[in-house]
Structure 1
Amino acid sequence: MSSGRILVADDEPSVRESVGYALEQEGFDVTIAIDGDDADEKIGEGDVPFDLLVLDIMMPGRSGLDLCRDVRGRSAVPIILLTAKDAEVDKVVGLEVGADDYVTKPFSVRELLGRVRAQLRRRELDRAVTAEGGSSTIEAGEVSIDLARHLVTVRGEPVNLTRSEFQVLRLLADRPGQVFSRLEIMEELWQSEFSGDVRACDVHISNLRQKIERDPQDPELVVTVRGIGYKLVEPE
């Protein structure tokens, strides 16, 4: 059986009940929040007492986006957003403020369970690397990644990345010069077969460029290979 504490926040009773029941059947300890303010209270102000958050973007009280932005400022806990079918802007903004993934309503519970497992699997891999300690460092020109401490420096300056951004940069820096398709990048984030919208990859890349490039509009490190995907430029 699976284990872990998960907060499910949605103002639709049918969503809360179906998602909560499915997660409990998988062995998770589920806490339900009926709106944004309730979720805010359950999350608290200190260390986040959950292993994963499932947040509806549009809720009475604090929105899922507000909660995501607040939590991401103090925790790397995985966050999955629930979005409306036509809310393309919300999906982009959600990833920009630090969400790890999103699921579009209406969705199958099986799909959401797959996303939850993928995020928790990634978190366990991160913890395993940290527990190993040692000097696990990737050096790729101006980019340095300390895997054990989850730290990134670019041109000698520390850069604060979300877990998803960290994983994307880690993949590219581990094999500089190699071109990765959007699907390959998303499957690295999922650590399994990816069946969602690969355009989410473009948002992660855009966010990453905002943090590591001198000019995000004219990137020198993470570049686009038109028609194929992205790569980290090989050091000279």
Structure 2
Amino acid sequence: MEGNSILIIEDDININSMIKEVLIKEGYNVGQAFDGQEGILKFEEKNYDLILLDVMMPIIDGLETMRRIRMKSNVPIIILSAKGEETDKVIGLGMGADDYLTKPFSVPEMVARIKCNIRRCIHYSEGKEIDDKSIYKYGSVTFDMNNYCVYKGEEEVALTAKEMNILKLFFKNPNRVFTKVQIYDSVWGEDFITDYNTVTVHMRRLRSKIENDPNNPKLIETVWGIGYKLVGMKK
């Protein structure tokens, strides 16, 4: 974990400095930005392994900053916000965030979530724990687990690490029904996270990328009152 680079985009100088100090002690390389515009410029100058992103910022707010970053990169993004309402979490996650911390948050929780998100991202980029059979295809979607690439038809689909992990779970277990709790435990695997609505948001994002009609999914269907299952025909 040591040596990974983290960009803090937070307009509160005290919070930004506190986080930087904590992360340096944890062995991370840390960049700082104090508004969305500066954050975008800093991100374009250097490859970061994770971004901590405040929502309420001057010049360019956090959500717009995230939208612009997501146009170029699937780097893990953890939102920092004083807004703890479920609707705000859904909006943030729906726009591409990987995780969400509500202010005030505990330092141990922040560090744990950072490590978790970086670890999972590295896991997928390196293609660890790959089975002998590395290419799975269901319907028009192909998952090359050797290179961690997903294609819809001939076009590559950009998925975040968590979306990739969710899709892998279903592709390796076709026709098996997974509850939100099972998906959550498999993908997030952290006891301190208890918001299972996060699964719903990530499923919605995943479907928007791999389904022809996300409102009428034919690949990963909803099993009402239980969860989800992969039903697309294997090829």
TM bucket normalised to smaller? 0.7 to 0.9
> Which residue matches 1:29?
29
Deviations 1:69-111 (A, max 9, x none): 1112112211111122344333222222221111112211111
* Counterpart amino acid of residue 168 in structure 2: R
Moved more, 69-78 or 212-221: 212-221
Paired residue type of 1:140: Y
In the alignment, structure 1 residue 208 sits paired with structure 2 residue 206:
yes
Any stretches of 5+ residues in structure 2 without a counterpart?
Answer: none
Which residue of the partner structure matches residue 185 of structure 1? Answer: 183
Residue identity in the other structure for 2:58: P
Distance 1:187 1:19 in 2: 27
SS in 2 for 1:220: coil
**Matched AA of 1:172:** F
Q: CA RMSD in A?
A: 2.6
Give TM-score, length-normalised by structure 1: 0.87
User: For 2:85 and 2:209, how far apart are their aligned partners in 1?
Assistant: 25
Query: 2:5 touches 2:30 (CA, 8 Å); kept in 1?
Result: yes
Worse overlay, 95-104 or 185-194:
185-194
Q: Which residue of 2 aligns with 1:73?
A: 71
2: distance between equivalents of 1:54 and 1:135?
Answer: 36
Contact 1:82 1:104 (C-alpha < 8 Å) held by counterparts? yes
* 5+ long unaligned stretches in structure 1: none
Q: Secondary structure at the match of 2:69?
A: helix
Shift in alpha-carbon separation, 1:155–1:42, aligned structure 2, 3 A: closer
Match for 2:34: what amino acid? I
The structure-2 alpha-carbon separation of the partners of 1:103 and 1:196, relative to structure 1 and needing over 3 Å to count, comes to farther
Return the alpha-carbon distance in structure 2 between the equivalents of residues 187 and 2 of structure 1. 26
* Deviations, residues 147-193 of structure 1 (Å, cap 9, x unaligned): 23332234555433333222211111110111222233233333544
User: Residue in 2 aligned with 1:55?
Assistant: 53
Change in CA separation of 1:171 and 1:18 when aligned onto 2, cut-off 3 Å: same
Which whole-Å CA distance do the structure 1 matches of 2:125 and 2:211 have between them? 28
The aligned residue for residue 44 of structure 1 is 44
- The CA deviation at 1:32 is 1.8
**Partner residue in 2 for 1:90:** 88
Question: Residue 2 of structure 1 aligns to which amino acid in structure 2?
Answer: E
The corresponding residue for 2:105 is 107
Give the percent of matched residue pairs that are identical in Structure 1 and Structure 2: 39
Amino acid at match of 1:37: Q
TM-score between both structures, scaled by the size of structure 2: 0.87
Give the stretch that moved more between structures: 142-151 or 50-59: 142-151
1:141 CA drift (Å): 4.2
CA contact (8 A) 1:178 1:231 kept: yes
| Shift in Å, 1:14 | 3.0
Cα gap change, 1:131/1:54 in structure 2, threshold over 3 Å: closer, same or farther? same
Number of matched pairs: 234
**Counterpart in 1 of 2:7?**
7
